[in-house]
Structure 1
Amino acid sequence: MAPVEGLRHASSFGAAATAYAEHRPDYAQAAVRWALEPAPGLRVLDLGAGTGKLTATLVAVGADVTAVEPDPAMLTELRRALPDVRALPGSAEAIPLPDASVDVVLAGNAMHWFDMAVAGPEIARVLAPGGIMAGLWNVVDDRADWVAGLARVSGSAAIGPRDTPASWRVATATAHLPKNDVAARFGAPEQAEFPHGQRRTADSLLATLATRAGMLVMEDPDRDATLGRIRAFLTSRPETANGEFTLPMLTCVLRVRRL
């Protein structure tokens, strides 16, 4: 993705902050625990925290969380939902925390937006020795036949790179990690996947897909056509045509230790 286009996608979420908070899924607790388990402590930075989807899961597993989010609308939603969490304006490229002040830096569906040439040194700076950096992504599990069909009719704007298990494994194998000399401060990356799911109806799944960056930056006629195509598919499938269903998902984790 070109830098200007990437910036446009990354900055698209604020206008849909309320919908994002309502419709985006949380993260599998087992995935969060795996990301945390080798860390020297539980001082956790949720970087690019959005509306607090990952933050809430971290609170639930007992972490001492600081959330950092660059978008004011997203940060407002996070503070409304989690008033007891320390939530600060900032970005991966300019983290408003002291050196070696956290044991873990996590990013939920956000690390692919970071400029790692700048963010890598910042993350290394705030991490204590032995600390963990990890990205978490919720992906749809296209091993289910109807989910594979949904991915085909949705197009890359709604279900794109990193949004299915196989594409996630390839996309994160070498990307989204510190670059150049900063990479030498980190060990070998590890990947893991954990079962997850989200209760949806056809309408609420459409609302979820409408919060994807590629959808948010579409022209209205194109977005309406894409959503119409998805709706027609969902109403044609016995798994999704009537009432609530579980959207099969995985929470996928890319983890690396600071040396």
Structure 2
Amino acid sequence: MQIVEEIEGSGGLGGLARMTEAIAALETRRTELIAQLRSQRLASWEEIGQACGMTRQGASRRWSQQAQATSFGDAAAAYRRGRPPYPESAVDWLVPGTARSALDLGAGTGKLTQLLAARDLTVTAVEPLAAMREELVAAVPGVEVLDGSAEEIPLGDGTVDSVVVAQAWHWFDAAKALPEIARVLAPGGTLGLVWNIRDHSVPWVAELDRVLHRHTRQEIDTTPSIGTPFRLVERFEVRWEHPLTRAELLDLVASRSYVITMPAADRDELMHQVIELLDSHLDLRGRRKLSMPYVTRCTRARLT
């Protein structure tokens, strides 16, 4: 109570403002601590719920997405090895030919950054996780890489012609991200969103997803609505195949956010089931090199 009284001070609107600021800081720190406990497998959702005065279900509903969003740093190398790039036709569509600068927002390990840097563009990459930035710098030397988020972009007003978000929009707080993206875009600039989705119409891919979703299912909206101040929302889709080795497919699975945050025993069991699929499925067994079919879904919107 003494700490509360010190924050409140003489009360009034000033005291209320100080208390609100303190509560927000504590909540931010609590979320970070929960993410750390989950990523390092130091506590179950039941234990976290008890510590927060909540049920296991309540704690999981409130913080599981944040824990998953910050989990990629624990598997950054596997992410870099296992995740696919993006088809050139998708990048051509996402970034207008008139653009001279581009921001890869939520850049991860630089899968899209690398493709942007190969073009006649000034490229900046923004990524909040240090481990991912380390992989990005090693993979795409010479590109400016900054610590930041979609909700707080460390760039000046109107400084880029195109903002592209690859496999990350679903982690953003869109209500905060949209005005930030609009701020850094030059007039008439574009926002492009892209996801690689495994093609479930292929039987062995459908079986792989059945194994993965036996433990959890992550639903992602790959055709999200884009509101004010953007207009002329367009969609584009391309089917393609990505060659990969057996080891890279295992890295692809291991780098999924829900796999990273699983209890160790559940994660080991899942990886064992994937290995069994590779050894037994008629389309996979005995093959050292595979080809993962993808549907790449893109959204593009222009700043009014």
Q: TM-score, normalised by structure 1?
A: 0.88
2:231 matched to 1:208? no
Change over 3 Å in CA distance of 1:60–1:221 after alignment to 2? same
1:11 aligns with 2:56: no
Q: Which residue of 1 is the match for residue 91 of structure 2?
A: 32
The 8 Å contact of residues 17 and 74 in structure 1, kept in 2 or not, is answered as yes
Secondary structure (helix, strand or coil) at the match of 2:231 reads coil
Q: Are residue 228 (structure 1) and residue 272 (structure 2) matched?
A: yes
Q: 1:94 is aligned with what amino acid?
A: E
In structure 2, the CA distance between the partners of 1:205 and 1:74, relative to structure 1 (3 Å rule), is same
Does the 8 Å contact 1:136/1:251 carry over to 2? yes
Is 1:172 the counterpart of 2:216 in the alignment? Answer: no
For 1:186, the equivalent position in structure 2 comes to 230
Q: Which of the two has greater helix per residue?
A: 2
Counterpart residue number, 1:134: 192
Give a deviation string over 1:76-132, Cα, whole Å, max 9, x none: 111122121011111101101111111111111111111111111100101111111
State the match for 2:294 in structure 1: 249
Deviation at 1:40, TM superposition (A): 4.4
> What CA distance in whole angstroms lies between the structure 2 residues aligned with 1:244 and 1:230?
16
Query: Does the CA contact (< 8 Å) of 1:157 and 1:213 recur in 2?
Result: no
- Aligned with 1:172: secondary structure? coil
Question: CA contact under 8 A between 1:40 and 1:131: conserved in structure 2?
Answer: no
Contact 1:151–1:159, Cα closer than 8 Å, also in 2: no
Residue 102 (str. 1) matches residue 102 (str. 2): no
Question: Are the equivalent residues in 2 in contact too, given 1:198–1:249 (CA < 8 A)?
Answer: yes
Matched residue SS, 1:154: helix
- 1:52 corresponds to 2:96: no
Q: Contact 1:36 / 1:42 at 8 angstroms: preserved in 2? A: no
* Other structure's SS at 1:6 match: helix
Cross-structure match for 2:182: 124
1:126 counterpart letter in structure 2: V
Number of aligned residues: 244
Ranges in structure 2 where 5+ consecutive residues have no aligned partner: 1-59
After superposition, the Cα gap between the structure-2 partners of 1:219 and 1:247, relative to the gap in structure 1 and judged at 3 Å, is same
- TM-align CA RMSD: 1.9
One-letter code of the match for 1:208? Answer: L
Q: Give me the whole-angstrom Cα distance separating, in 1, the residues matched to 2:185 and 2:228.
A: 14
Return closer, same or farther for 1:158/1:189 CA change in 2, 3 Å cut-off. farther
Asked if the contact 2:222/2:297 (under 8 Å) is kept, the reply is no
Once the two structures are TM-superposed, the CA of residue 196 in structure 1 deviates from its matched residue by: 2.7
State the partner residue of 1:79. 137
Structure with greater contact order relative to length (CA < 8 Å, sep ≥ 6): 1
Cα distance, 1:159 vs structure 2: 6.8
Against the structure 1 CA distance between its residues 158 and 236, is the aligned structure 2 distance closer, same or farther, given a 3 Å change threshold?
Answer: farther
- CA distance in 2 between counterparts of 1:159 and 1:139 reads 14
For 1:159 and 1:49, locate their aligned partners in 2 and report how far apart those are by CA, in whole Å: 24
Structure 1 pair 207–64 and aligned structure 2 pair: CA distance change class (3 A): same
The CA distance in 1 between the partners of 2:233 and 2:275, in whole Å, is: 39
Counterpart Cα distance in 2 of 1:230 and 1:131: 43
Q: What TM-score do you get using the length of structure 2 for normalisation? A: 0.75
The one-letter amino acid of 1:217's match is T
Match of 2:201, SS state, is coil
Contact 1:103–1:128, Cα closer than 8 Å, also in 2:
yes
Query: Percent sequence identity over matched residues?
Result: 40
Contact 2:128 2:149 in 1 (8 A): yes
For the residue of structure 2 that corresponds to 1:189, the secondary structure is strand
Residue 283 of structure 2 aligns with which residue? 239
Q: Give me the whole-angstrom Cα distance separating, in 1, the residues matched to 2:85 and 2:112.
A: 6
Q: For residue 165 of structure 1, what is the aligned residue in structure 2? A: none
* Residues 141/61 of structure 1: CA separation in 2 closer, same or farther (3 Å cut): farther
SS at 1:187's partner residue? strand
Distance in 2, Cα, partners of 1:156 & 1:103: 42
Unaligned runs of 5+ in 1: 163-170, 178-182
| In structure 1, distance between residues paired with 2:115 and 2:218 | 25
